[in-house]
Amino acid sequence: MESWYVAVILGIVEGLTEFLPISSTGHLIVTGHLLGFTGPKAETFDVVIQLGAILAVVVLYYDRFMGLLKTDPTKAFSGPRGIWLLVLTSIPASVIGLLAHSYIKAHLFSPTTVAIALAVGAIMIFVVEGRDKEEKTTNLDEITPALAFGIGCFQCLALWPGFSRSAVTIMGGMILGAGRKVAAEYSFIAAVPIMFAATGYDFLKSYSLFAADDLIFLGIGFFVSFISAWIAIKGFIYLLGKLTLRPFAVYRLAIAPLIILFL
């Protein structure tokens, strides 16, 4: 079993970065290299702690998820319609991810490819934030099927580690007319089905890499990721009421060359 502090560090990194537009996968790859925790076992551990971050979203948006179980006449994002919107968002990345899974694992999970994705994503953020935009969608109940599917198409870019699923779904929403805050909230909620499917697929393929002695290690990472994600989501939503995404783009541009130089 790996040292407990490795689980704590990676859990913090996953939780804090999963829902911010800076790429959790990219940060986990880089942090894993720094800690010397790499390979198939490390990749499966990353999958497990992502489930902790997913659980944080489910808890924070519990009412919204429960509302998907029955139609609420006062909320358009509820019942079968709400589920259908999430399905539409999940389809593009699910199909492409399934078809390209082996290629992505073999060629895009390296510090260099992560650094390039961070830089490209940062430039995209500056371009999107610099546009004159009309906010047609200001809350979750105004999301249309076309908007949901469009966001799902942008989400495909997140299959490139380092690009950030959160960044591309928020930017996709903004390009298609959603306000920054509602785009972020929908990004969190839409992450649950796609991440659950992806992490479940990875875990079922690789769970045999872990022995019974590793359960504590996995549990620590899962719990720390859950708490860190809870804090990050609450803080991010608060900041979006006061800031644009530009500070995150600056951060991405700052760390991209450092990754190439030192890893």
Per-residue pLDDT of the chain (263 residues; tens, 9 = 90+): 568 899 999 999 999 999 999 988 889 988 998 899 888 888 888 888 988 999 999 999 999 999 999 999 889 999 999 999 999 999 999 899 889 878 887 888 888 999 999 999 999 999 999 987 777 888 999 999 999 999 999 999 999 988 999 999 999 999 999 999 999 999 999 989 878 877 777 777 776 777 777 788 889 999 999 999 999 999 998 888 888 999 999 999 999 998 888 77
The SS3 of residue 22 is: coil
Domain count for the chain, please give it: 1
Which of 111, 103, 106 lies closest to 34 in space, CA to CA? 111
CB atoms under 10 Å from CB of 78, counted, come to: 21
Q: Are 163 and 169 in contact (CB under 8 A)?
A: no
The SS3 of residue 137 is: strand
Domain range enclosing 118: 4-262
In sequence order, what are the residues at sequence separation of 6 or more whose Cβ sits closer than 8 angstroms to the Cβ of residue 192? 54, 57, 58, 65, 86
Entry pTM = 0.86
Token representation of residue 122: 């940062």
